[in-house]
Amino acid sequence: MGRQAIEVKDVSKMYKLYSRPGDRLKESLGLSKKKKYVEHYALRHMSFSVKKGETVGLIGTNGSGKSTMLKIITGILSPTAGKVEIEGRISALLELGAGFNMEYTGLENVYLNGTMNGFKKEEIDARLEEILKFADIGEFIHQPVKTYSSGMFVRLAFAVAINIDPEILIVDEALSVGDVFFQAKCYKKFEEFKELGKTILFVSHDLGSVSKYCDRVILLNRGEKVMEGEPKEVVDAYKKLIVHQLDVAPAAGEERERAGIREGTLWKDSLNNNPDCLEYGNGAAHIVDYALLDDRGLITNSIVKGEAFTIRFKVMFHQYIINPIFAFTVKDLRGTEITGTNTMFEHVYVDHTAAGSTRTVSFVQTMNLQGGEYLLSLGCTGYSGDDFQVYHRLYDVCNITVISDKNSVGFYDMNSKIEIV
């Protein structure tokens, strides 16, 4: 491979999608002569290389194939076609703590993970002090990790992954873990790796970090490589792509996705929805449709930080209801509620709704959250006398991807104006 640390050659990844579980079994037993599946390509003919000592960014919308590509590079998945060549020891910050045993203590998990990465006990002993100092969880290192808070868990997982002295570091949105002081340590370590000439493949929705750290950036869309080049050039193309202003041909066998609201279609069909959404309520009303709209009125899961966007949903009422309350909540991927509001908080009231009627509510605001992934929940509630009623709720119904080229500290941006005299 010479100077190449990672060589991806014409890689495709195809999944067989079956409409019924029994069809998979029939095919595996040779009982079906007809093809019972639909082919879905997560990646199509992907080729690129990463030189030794280079930091390369991988960006693209949800479903573009970024995570699939990283899993193939790290050996978690096998490609359907093509091949990947790697030269050097890899440390992958993909799913932090995926190899942890919840019954073991933190210390036992350090040795377990080190062994899984090919280290001998003596080599782990030599790195132990640095790992414990980086994680900074004190005496909890001797407690079972099932007793850890989510913050302690990711601190230890990150400390183990980052301190095994890899030649190639694969990072997938992992630098945003823990509190702001721990994040600062993570970025400092990241910069140390760069200065030491380590090879880094970096995936993030924080376009500011991509532009700052990467020597080159690759843009993916629907499983295909759109372009690669200088960070600013590719980041600018990505911004056009997410607002449907970049001319990208549909992938083979696929139609261009619906972006606007059209008569006779459901808004939610144009979104990336959560198949495991938690849904409940007493049945007096039902959220029948919902959408995220960017500042041009196009339905999308991706919102550019600093731009106006709309959360819209339609409710059908099955009973006469006085003063229904419409609400939304945004959470991070660890389940922390970041923000949200409802019509009662905003002093917007609906006197009553008749059975069989529908109401559509639109919340319009500016996106000030930091770049990254979030989850949206919707609800219709109210009061019957003094009793609180949940008519219908959809928890974590879809994701919101915030695209940012300027992140500040914490969850959201104060948009400070700076004056120096």
Cα dihedral 404, 406, 409, 412 in deg (nearest 10)? -50
In a shared domain, residues 78 and 204: yes
Q: What is the CATH number of the domain that holds 24?
A: 3.40.50.300
Q: At 111, which amino acid appears?
A: Y
Residue-wise pLDDT for 1-51, tens only, equals 658 999 999 999 999 888 777 777 777 776 766 777 888 899 999 999 999
Give whole-number Cα distances, 106 to 101, 151, 419, in Å.
9, 13, 47
Residue 154 included in any domain:
no
Residue 160 included in any domain:
no
Residue 381 included in any domain:
yes
In a shared domain, residues 363 and 216: no
In a shared domain, residues 246 and 215: yes
In a shared domain, residues 330 and 236: no
Q: Mean pLDDT across the stretch 55-61? A: 93
Residue 246 included in any domain:
yes
In a shared domain, residues 215 and 297: no
pLDDT for position 391: 97
Which residue range is the domain that position 327 belongs to?
Answer: 267-403
Of 219, 237, 256, at which residue does a domain stop?
256
Residue 114 included in any domain:
no
What is the Cα–Cα distance from 253 to 211, expressed in whole angstroms?
Answer: 33
In a shared domain, residues 373 and 279: yes
In a shared domain, residues 198 and 240: yes
In total, how many domains does the chain have? 2
Residue-wise pLDDT for 212-247, tens only, equals 889 999 999 999 999 999 998 998 899 888 766 676
In a shared domain, residues 318 and 398: yes
pLDDT for position 318: 97
Dihedral over Cα of 162, 165, 166, 167: its sign: positive
Residue 121 included in any domain:
no
Three-state SS at 49: strand
In a shared domain, residues 252 and 272: no
In a shared domain, residues 70 and 200: yes
Residue 104 included in any domain:
no
Residue-wise pLDDT for 147-161, tens only, equals 998 778 888 888 888
What is the Cα–Cα distance from 64 to 227, expressed in whole angstroms?
Answer: 13
Burial class (CB in 10 A: 0-12, 13-18, 19+), 19: exposed
Of 256, 279, 312, at which residue does a domain stop?
256
Rounded to two decimals, the pTM is 0.71
Q: What is the CATH number of the domain that holds 329?
A: 2.70.50.60
What is the Cα–Cα distance from 384 to 319, expressed in whole angstroms?
Answer: 12
More confidently predicted of 353 and 192: 353
Give me the sheet containing 285-293, strands edge to edge: 285-293, 308-317, 358-366
Residue-wise pLDDT for 76-128, tens only, equals 899 999 999 999 888 877 766 667 899 999 999 999 988 877 788 998 999 99
- C-beta neighbour count of 419 within 10 angstroms: 5
In a shared domain, residues 240 and 283: no
In a shared domain, residues 241 and 317: no
The encoded tokens of residue 237 equal 């193309």
φ and ψ of 184, to 5 deg: -60, -40
**DSSP sequence for 355-420:** TT-EEEEEEEEE--BPSEEEEEEEEEEEEETTEEEEEEEEEEEEEEEEEBS---SSSB---PPP--
Residue-wise pLDDT for 270-283, tens only, equals 898 998 899 999 99
